Structure 1
């Protein structure tokens, strides 16, 4: 996933001359990853090697990533149109579309780096673009999962849509310190997405109501499962997997990397500040007994808004990693999230009436517009700055004039 290597041949700089440009670290950067998934190694890598050969050589790696993300955006649009209550049931084709779109996203996310090496267009921008899109996708793909399981605007539905930001952020934090993206034997981008696709497909076959059936009616053992349904197990399983497997391994790898370099360990836990604030503020708003967002079915708008805030927060860490910069503790896009939590909770706690539903909705809409503008303004400026320094294009593969005459792509 992402771009494997970066050529240092961009530009005609004297090797003996030290480049003091703020982006100079990009020219020495090399992407590193470890994927221990047995499914990836024995099955999916053959599929990915086959799939990348279907792409035209003129197609830029970042464009491949964007096409995959487009499949998710298409399904979010379909969700809004055909199952706005996130309960359904909708036409079975919609759930199959969710599954196919997520699989398409996963495929493109895994072959964009292969396309970069295939076309000789690897660059550190690829990692920033790839994982930046992953950050945006966290809540959006999970939103489709919420609809596919018919969870609606329940707390379980909101948790399902929002919880993927946690493993994504901690993996990014881990990569910042270890300089390697580590995917374990069972990981979210592989096994997690396969399970999500299977769940969506099952909803297409049996309908989302299958997740609301009593487990005792399916497997028996009334005395063990009582009135628990399949959806009742969903959140505990997901959260436990993150809390007891994903997070401990991230911490272990970061601690090992720091100790191997003789660096202090405890200060790195202060870097959890942004995700802790983001999580507490988000939960303080979304799960407040005084909020009207769940009652009035505004999960889609909430997820879209938080996708930009989280995307900005995560890509700042990625960029700091690429440029060997200090860890970024803050982004202005968290401020309105804190404001939302204060808006809905402060008045009742101070003895006043809860804020009006219309005021809360317009505050969320304003936050969405603010997040959209700030995110794209920052993203476009950052991409243009990196492209200008490395002499590359974001969504196209540049060609040298002399190579164009011979019909060959740039390989430097």
Structure 2
């Protein structure tokens, strides 16, 4: 049976040591003290990965709730003649779920150190699920603004901004050997919880009021995401990589090897954006949620493979197999000019295929890690005395 983790990758995981730097004021002075207090109430028999997975499932639940009440992001649009709006309790529940998920993500590493179960599997499992949450969490926030504030195409690029920032953090570690935890993550997660909670109290229509200068909250939200990404993430990442070469503290990879992980992401961005822009039936506007899930799934798969290479200190894969069926479907859509229904069916089929392939990949990688290190993912094995 084919394996995803080669011998050199497993040997690289054996040598792996976690190395991170966190300079976030919110993280160091607010969240970490809170998480240190929370983790003491967690039973020592609870596996850290179980905390991680529970938090991820809460983000999935939030996504499913909004999918039910606002599948096409029409709830807050003027053409919503049925007056079917998202109940206030949904905003409140998703705010609580997101905060609990954020907390569980914050204490899983502390629980691992507390129980003596720290290891590469925990970090891989944590960051792998986080890469999938980059589409699940923001898509819920889209329902606050809806299509009248942000078109599906504009929100597509907002998602890619989030994807790129997340990916560059791991690309940075691939080259420097250090995980520089971005400030934006904590502020975004905490701010999203507050935004959802406030929306449950005052209603989403408050975020649609006109602002001075003809701006709207949706446009301001969009601008802040792009601007903060450039200032607090992208420029900092490039500086850290440059500094690692200047001071010779990083991996010192040749230029082509250093940028190698960017190739599959760039190819995918070009393919997905071509479909978003040139779809004959404007499938992104017709089925935005499905298009976002497909994009986020393939992004997560590309990112997970980078994480594996980064942690095992092996050469990153330059090609992702999920791009083959994606390119084939795109070719059929753009050159054969299929009917709108056929294009939608192709989108559904491709989403199902990518989701199944990514789930299989993630499951097999975890199984191979557990077999190699003789551990269990969701259970703390008692130590033999």
TM-score between the two structures when normalised by the length of structure 1: 0.82
Query: Is 2:309 aligned against 1:293?
Result: no
Q: Retained in 1: the 8 A contact 2:284–2:291?
A: no
CA distance in 1, matches of 2:379, 2:332: 44
| Deviation string, structure 1 residues 10-30 (Cα, Å, up to 9, x no partner) | xxxxxxxxxx86512222211
1:174 paired residue number: 172
> Equivalent residue of 2:21, what SS?
strand
The 1:26–1:154 alpha-carbon spacing in structure 2 relative to 1, beyond 3 Å, is closer
**TM superposition shift of 1:322:** 1.9
Question: Residues 290 and 311 of structure 1: is their aligned pair in 2 closer, same or farther, counting only changes over 3 Å?
Answer: same
Pairwise CA distance, 1:208: 2.1
Hey, what does 1:106 align to over in structure 2? 102
- Of 227, 236, 251 in structure 2, the residue corresponding to residue 240 of structure 1 is 227
The structural deviation recorded for 1:243 is 3.2
- For 1:295, what is the secondary structure of its paired residue? helix
Determine whether 1:255 maps to 2:252: no
Query: Does structure 2 retain, via aligned residues, the 8 Å contact 1:159–1:235?
Result: no
Mapped to 1, the partners of 2:171 and 2:128 lie a distance apart of 14
Cα displacement string for residues 20-75 of structure 1 (whole angstroms, at most 9, x for unaligned residues):
86512222211111111111111111110111122221111111100001111111
**Match of residue 325 from structure 2:** 336
1:376 to 323, 347, 359: 359
What aligned pairs does 1:121-160 form with structure 2 within 5 A after superposition? Answer: 121-151=117-147, 154-160=152-158
What corresponds to 1:220 in structure 2? none
Distance 1:125 1:335, change over 3 A: same
Q: Which residue does the alignment assign to 1:324?
A: 313
Give 1:240 deviation, angstroms: 2.6
Residue 203 of structure 2 aligns with which residue? 207
Once residues 44 and 244 of structure 1 are traced to their aligned partners in structure 2, the CA distance between those partners, rounded to angstroms, is: 22
Structure 2 unaligned residues grouped into runs of 5+: 1-6, 76-84
On the 8 A contact 2:280/2:340 being kept in 1, the answer is no
Distance 1:271 1:252 in 2: 18
Q: Which moved more, 1:201-210 or 1:273-282?
A: 201-210
- After TM superposition, the runs of 4+ consecutive aligned structure 1 residues lying more than 4 A away are none
- SS of residue matched to 2:280: coil
| Pairing 1:79-98 to 2, within 5 Å after superposition | 79-88=66-75, 89-98=85-94
In the superposition, relative to structure 1, how do residues 252 and 342 fare at CA in structure 2: closer, same or farther (>3 Å)? farther
8 A Cα contact 1:99 1:198, kept in partner = yes
CA distance change for structure 1 residues 310 and 264 in 2, over 3 Å: closer, same or farther?
closer
Q: Displacement of 1:128 after TM fit? A: 0.7
After the TM superposition, which of the residue ranges 60-69 and 370-379 deviates more from structure 2? 370-379
Q: TM-score, normalised by structure 2?
A: 0.88
Identify which range, 198-207 or 167-176, moves more after superposition. 198-207
RMSD: 2.2
Shift of residue 258, structure 1, vs aligned partner: 3.1
Aligned residues between the structures: 365
Instruction: Measure, in 1, the Cα distance between the counterparts of 2:269 and 2:20.
Output: 27
**CA 1:118–1:241 in structure 2 vs 1: closer, same or farther (change >3 Å)?**
same
Q: CA deviation at 1:330?
A: 1.6
The CA deviation string for residues 263-284 of structure 1, in whole angstroms up to 9 with x for no partner, is 3663223432122122222222
Q: Is the 8 A contact 2:306 2:316 kept in 1?
A: yes
Pair 1:337–1:164, CA change in 2 (3 A): farther
How far the C-alpha of 1:108 sits from its partner, in A, is 1.1
Q: 1:65 aligns with which of 19, 28, 52?
A: 52
1:305 Cα deviation from its structure 2 partner: 2.1
Change (3 A) 1:107 1:287: farther
Q: Which residue of 2 aligns with 1:390?
A: 373
Alignment-derived partner of residue 75 in structure 1: 62
- Is the CA contact 2:72–2:288 (under 8 Å) kept in the aligned structure 1? no
> Does the 8 Å contact 1:136/1:308 carry over to 2?
yes
Task: Please name the residue that 2:296 is paired with.
Answer: 307
Go from structure 1 to structure 2 and tell me whether the alpha carbon gap of 1:337 and 1:258 turns closer, same or farther (over 3 Å shift).
Answer: farther
